[in-house]
Amino acid sequence: MAPIGIIGGSGFYKLVGIKNPQRVYVDTPFGAVVMTRGILAKKEVVFLPRHGEGHTIPPHRINYHANAYAMYKLGVEKVIATSAVGSIRDDLRPGDFVLPDQIIDFTKNRKYTFFDGDFSIRLRNGEVRRGVYHVDVTEPYCRELREIIYEVGKEMSIAIHFGGTYVCTEGPRFETPAEIRFFKIIGGDIVGMTNSPEVFLFKELDICYALICVVTNYAAGMQKRITQEEVLEVFKERSEILAELIKRVVARL
Ligand code: HPA
């Protein structure tokens, strides 16, 4: 069985409940990646905290290419990722979970693709993608996986929202209230700093990828101010239930 990939966001640096954890070092053409491999809910999983174990890597410095490629190299076919986000909508409250189905990219200075010229990759189904390749992102997030997460979340009585548009900013600063007003007008629901290019790179590798967002705050201008401490604190408060949700989803896959 292919291992299931789990990516931890801000405040999620260790996978609670993982059995026989082993550190694995994966070499990729984009750099080496350290992950934890083990068993969760009787399934093989690999866990990767995208900001590093001590939150040392800011959003614009994450090696998204190496992370995605390392998952591919380990044979991962499904990825459950997690992220802290700000809410642009009154009805998405701090503590709520959101499973986005769309994304608008407002990053400015990242490498967005594997297909930069001479890259080629053989997918699980035998298809080879190479050279100049334009991936279809009509459905950026894996529907099947999102449905399972939603179903399990509902069974657990979590305040979980199916669908939403994630706006990705460059960071590392939080947004201005004017930016948030603009994001609201163009249809944004939540805002974060890491999902581009992450979701697109997994799409290029044809790996089923879903994101569980934890709303940690109302976005700039919707509350007095935003602090990093608040983001981490709210995430931490929700991390036990998030870990349980992931465990139950893994069991169901
Ligand atoms: N903006 C961007 N990223 C975030 C936020 C926010 O308000 N909260 C948590 N991650």
Q: What is the pLDDT of residue 119?
A: 94
pLDDT of residue 3: 94
Confidence of residue 132 (pLDDT cuts 50, 70, 90): very high
pLDDT band at 206 (very low <50, low <70, confident <90, very high): very high
Triad 4, 206, 142: Cα angle to 5° = 65
pLDDT at res. 207: 97
User: Within 6 Å (CB) of ligand 1, which residues are found?
Assistant: 84-86, 169, 174-175, 191-193, 216-217, 219, 226, 231
pTM beyond 0.85? yes
What is the distance in A from the centroid of ligand 1 to the CA of 192? 5
The pLDDT score that the predictor gives to residue 243 is 95
Q: Which of 53-67, 171-185, 226-240 has the highest mean pLDDT?
A: 171-185
Q: Which residues contact 225 (CB under 8 A, 6 or more apart)?
A: none
Nearest CA to ligand 1 atom 5: 86
pLDDT at 53: 79
d(CA 101, CA 4): 20
* Residue located via tokens 């101010």: 225
As for how many domains the chain has, the answer is 1
Q: Round to whole Å and give the CA distance between 4 and 17.
A: 15
Residue nearest to atom 6 of ligand 1 (CA): 86
Question: Under a CB-based contact definition with an 8 Å cutoff, are residues 10 and 231 in contact?
Answer: yes
pLDDT at 102 over 90: yes
Residue whose token pair is 């036990």: 240
Residue with tokens 């997690």: 82
Identify the CA nearest to 97 among candidates 9, 197, 221.
9
Q: Which residues contact 222 (CB under 8 A, 6 or more apart)?
A: 87, 88, 90, 177, 180
Report how far residue 38's alpha carbon sits from residue 25's, in angstroms, rounded to the nearest whole number.
Answer: 14
Q: Has residue 55 got a pLDDT over 80?
A: no
Ligand 1, atom nearest to 83 Cα: 10
Tokens coding 113:
């693709």
Q: How do residues 15-43 score in pLDDT, each as one tens digit?
A: 888 999 999 999 999 999 999 999 999 99
Q: Average pLDDT, stretch 165-184?
A: 97
The DSSP 8-state label assigned to residue 109 in this structure reads S
Which amino acid does the sequence have at 75?
A: G
pLDDT at 151 over 90: yes
Q: H helices within the chain, ranges in order? A: 64-73, 143-155, 177-185, 195-204, 228-252
What pLDDT is recorded for position 24? 95
pLDDT level of residue 12 (50, 70, 90 thresholds): confident
Percentage of the chain lying above the pLDDT 90 cut? 90
Prior bond of 177 cis (ω within 30°):
no
Among 135-139, 182-186, 225-229, which stretch is predicted with the lowest mean pLDDT? 225-229
pLDDT exceeds 80 at position 219:
yes
- What is the H or E stretch that residue 161 is in? strand 160-162
Q: Residue 56's domain spans which residues?
A: 4-252
61-100: per-residue pLDDT in tens?
A: 999 999 999 999 999 999 999 999 999 999 999 999 999 9
Q: What is the mean pLDDT of residues 119-141?
A: 95
Averaged over 230-243, what is the pLDDT? Answer: 94
Q: Which CATH number does the domain housing residue 45 bear?
A: 3.40.50.1580
Q: What are phi and psi of 77, to 5 degrees?
A: -115, -20
The residue contributing the CA closest to ligand 1 atom 7 is: 86
Q: At what angle do helices 64-73 and 195-204 cross, to 10 degrees?
A: 30
Give me the sign of the Cα torsion angle 172, 173, 175, 178.
Answer: negative
Q: At 29, list the tokens.
A: 């053409």
The answer, yes or no, to whether residue 54 has pLDDT greater than 80, is no
CA of 51 to the centre of ligand 1 (A): 14
